[in-house]
């Protein structure tokens, strides 16, 4: 993954922009590039659902689960260490979003006091 990202972004893995990426960010970008170069083949199930076959057993499993109305576990296949890292990154993003939402509720203060 590191070698792919270094080649794509043309920066060393020690660069700050690279270090700020989570594994999920890198994987998402990798698969976007992969499927841009290798488009998916759509198939229709007997019930009429459209599914995509990637050839990757895990991705095809997730696609079937989505078609059946289930939410797939997108951390499936990650090591415990990477799963924990993604959990912490998600918590950090959620806390940041809560702060943004809370600051919107405060208003700018100027209009209320001096407007």
Here the tokens at position 49 are 């659902």
What's the predicted TM-score (pTM) here?
0.42
Looking at the structure of the chain, the number of domains it has is 3
Q: How many residues does the chain have?
A: 115
Verify that 53 and 73 share a domain, yes or no.
Answer: yes
The overall average pLDDT reported for the chain is 83
Verify that 68 and 54 share a domain, yes or no.
Answer: yes
pLDDT at residue 110 above 80? no
Which residue range(s) make up the domain with 51?
40-77
For residues 24 and 86, what is the distance between their CA atoms, to the nearest angstrom?
A: 7
Domain for residue 57, yes or no?
yes
Instruction: Report pLDDT digits (tens) over 74-108.
Output: 888 889 999 999 899 999 999 999 988 887 776 65
């Amino acid at each position: 993954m590191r070698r792919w990202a270094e080649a794509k972004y043309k920066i060393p893995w020690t660069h700050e922009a690279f270090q700020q990426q989570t594994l999920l960010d890198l994987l998402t970008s990798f698969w976007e590039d992969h499927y841009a170069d290798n488009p998916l083949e759509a198939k229709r199930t007997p019930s009429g659902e459209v599914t995509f076959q990637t050839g990757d057993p895990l991705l095809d499993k997730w696609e079937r689960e989505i078609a059946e109305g289930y939410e797939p576990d997108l951390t499936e296949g990650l090591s415990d260490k990477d799963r924990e890292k993604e959990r912490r990154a998600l918590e950090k993003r959620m806390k940041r979003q809560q702060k943004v939402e809370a600051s919107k509720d405060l208003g700018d203060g100027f209009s209320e006091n001096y407007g």
